[in-house]
Amino acid sequence: MIRVEMTYAFPVSVSKAFTYICNMDNWIEYWPGFVCVYDQANAKWAHSGDTIKVITKFLNRERELYLKLEEFQKDKIVTYVSQQKGLPDARHERHFKENPEGCEYRLVVCFEPRKGLMGLIDRFFIQRAVANALRQTVMNLDTIFRNRPSKSEISK
């Protein structure tokens, strides 16, 4: 089993981070390669068993990614499984925890490498691509959380 994990602290409350990160309308702003949620008007992402299809761009091609929500505990944890043609299925965890700086956000992606030559690709290329995507995700979120004025600042 390959496990890629990253933890990062954001200068916002757990509630604000959770609400922003879990809102499908915001995914395009921070998810690397994200294009759209397919049929977003009917998509649901808040209860165990919810499934959605998203379109992402990878290697200059749009690809379908199917997500199935396993666990959704407000301000605590979100877990889901992703399936994409040509790649191993992956289990994703998003953990939210208060810390002195605001919110500690831990991202985890686990997948079983395939057999044979594809397994070598999974161990080297896919593992690195996942790590890079997690790094870019937290960099994008950090920029958003540090540079966006709060609602109270906007109303001044």
**Nearest in space to 27 (alpha carbons), one of 8, 53, 5, 49:** 53
pLDDT given for residue 51 in this prediction: 96
- Kindly report, residue by residue over 15-37, the tens digit of the pLDDT: 999 999 999 999 999 999 999 99
- Please report which helix (H) or strand (E) contains residue 105, including its range: strand 102-111
- Kindly report, residue by residue over 47-79, the tens digit of the pLDDT: 999 999 999 987 678 989 999 999 999 999 999
pLDDT given for residue 149 in this prediction: 57
Domain of residue 149, residue span: 2-30+73-154
User: Is residue 61, in this structure, part of any structural domain at all?
Assistant: no
User: Is residue 55, in this structure, part of any structural domain at all?
Assistant: no
Residue reference for tokens 């200068």: 11
User: Is residue 40, in this structure, part of any structural domain at all?
Assistant: no
DSSP 8-state assignment for residue 31: S
- Kindly report, residue by residue over 95-124, the tens digit of the pLDDT: 999 999 899 999 999 999 999 988 888 898
How many structural domains comprise the chain? 1
**What CATH number corresponds to the domain at position 14?**
3.30.530.20
Is-above-0.75 flag for pTM? yes
User: Is residue 35, in this structure, part of any structural domain at all?
Assistant: no
Contact of 51 with 68, CB cutoff 8 Å = yes
User: Is residue 26, in this structure, part of any structural domain at all?
Assistant: yes
Say if residue 154's pLDDT is above 50: no
